[in-house]
Amino acid sequence: EREYLEIEENIVFVDKENKVELIAIPNDTFKVSVMINFETRVLGTQYAVLEDIKDFKEEIADSRTFVFLHELEFLLANNLIKGGDLSNAIVFVNRVIDQDELNRLADLFDKPKVNVMQDGILNNLELHHRNEPARHKLLDLIGDLALLGKPLKAHIIARRPGHAANVELGKLIRNHINTKKKMKASFSIDLEKEPLFDIMDIQGFLPHRPPFLFIDKIMEMGEDYIIGVKNVTMNEYFFQGHFPGDPVMPGVILVEAMAQTGGVLILNSVPDPENYITLFLKIDDVKFRKVVRPGDTIVFHNKLLKPATRGIALMQGKAYVNGQVVTEAKMMAAIKKREETNE
């Protein structure tokens, strides 16, 4: 099965100085819409669209490059072009030219005679499409995005695109996809299997009790990692006020649940966890990426960043819903005997 690149949000590149704007919008297929405007009498606003990549060969592939006469003159003056190089280029003439210059252009294109047609195009060729310049810009855009390496599912809307802008949009898309990969779970877990610890077992490790116990079960645990699960229901007390009619799990509760998961890992290192509690020392790099709502199942994955020493542990915690990171943080915590906290 063919692998596609997919985006989850609008990706925008803007060059205000040159009036350039390119937008990639999430879509089930690949679609491109292009608008150009050179603000001249001979080439103003044109629009081209490719609804289905299957139509590329018939609708887009034969669209040729184009150039303005003044650009051509610069290339000729600097000996940067040879006659055969432009035999298939559309030349737009946006000023009056005399017969001597027409004769020189005829020699360039190896034609006995050339004229400027009524629509301002040199008659060295005939247009394949009324909007061939816009279609050629669309062709360029597809070619530049092909550098992503895999077909893209998105609707690309481009105003005044060009190679430089196309490449920048491609970079933004690549960065978005790479970030999305980092946010995906690097582990797999069968939520239907028997848990390592159920909620009663968890209460043997943690001093927390409902309604402030926010993990339901522990699925896996090793020397330096732990995986816990929380099933979010509408009955959670905090949904009564956060927010009525639009329930969202509070970020502080997500972090607390992640910390409780880590607490089980830390307290598992002592023979009598019921005599200890865990206390936060520091929380860094907290990020809330997606909202969590009733009906979601949160998978917490905590990993020690270094071995715990003197009862202090530093760990990276991530919370996932449907394989996507919703919250992450670095947490430092200490375990203390209960009597020590009362001194």
Q: Which residues belong to CATH 3.10.129.10 in the chain?
A: 199-341
- The per-residue pLDDT for 83 is 56
- What's the whole-number mean pLDDT along residues 241-251? 96
From the candidates 128, 136, 242, 301, give the one annotated as an active-site residue: 242
Residue predicted with more confidence, 207 or 87: 207
Mean pLDDT of 78-102: 76
Q: Produce one character per residue of 73-103: b if its CB has 16 or more CB atoms within 10 Å, e if not.
A: eeebeeeebeeeebeebbbbbeeeeeeeeee
Does the pLDDT value for residue 84 go beyond 60?
A: no
Radius of gyration of the chain (CA): 31
Residue whose tokens read 């919250």: 327
- Look at residue 103 in the predicted model and tell me its pLDDT: 85
Mean pLDDT, the chain, integer: 91
Q: Which of 128, 136, 155, 163 is catalytic?
A: 163
Cα separation of 281 and 51, whole Å? 56
Has residue 56 got a pLDDT over 80?
yes
**Residue 142 — very low, low, confident or very high, per pLDDT cuts 50/70/90?**
very high
How high is the pLDDT of residue 82? 63
Percent of the chain with pLDDT over 90: 70
Chosen CATH of 1-59+131-183 out of 3.90.245.10, 3.30.1700.10, 3.30.1330.10, 3.40.50.880: 3.30.1700.10
Whether 234 and 247 have beta carbons less than 8 Å apart is answered as yes
- What pLDDT is recorded for position 342? 53
pLDDT at 262 over 80: yes
Using the predicted structure, report yes or no on whether residue 341 has a pLDDT greater than 70.
no
Active site residue 155: no
Residue 70 is among the residues annotated as catalytic for this protein: no
User: For the residues 70-98, what does the mean pLDDT come to?
Assistant: 75
Torsional sign, CA 236, 238, 242, 248: negative
Contact 7, 173 (CB under 8 A): yes
Q: What residues does CATH 3.30.1700.10 cover in the chain?
A: 1-59+131-183
Q: What share of the chain in percent tops pLDDT 70? A: 95
Phi and psi at 276, nearest 5°, equal: -125, 160
What are the tens digits of pLDDT across the range 171-199? 999 999 988 887 777 778 899 999 999 99
Closest to 308 measured CA to CA, from 226, 227, 224: 224
Confidence of residue 95 (pLDDT cuts 50, 70, 90): confident
pLDDT above 60 (res 153): yes
CATH no. for 199-341: 3.10.129.10
**pLDDT at residue 124, as a whole number:** 66
Does this model's pTM top 0.85? My answer is no
Contact 302, 226 (CB under 8 A): yes
Q: Which residues contact 42 (CB under 8 A, 6 or more apart)?
A: 92, 93, 94, 119, 120, 121
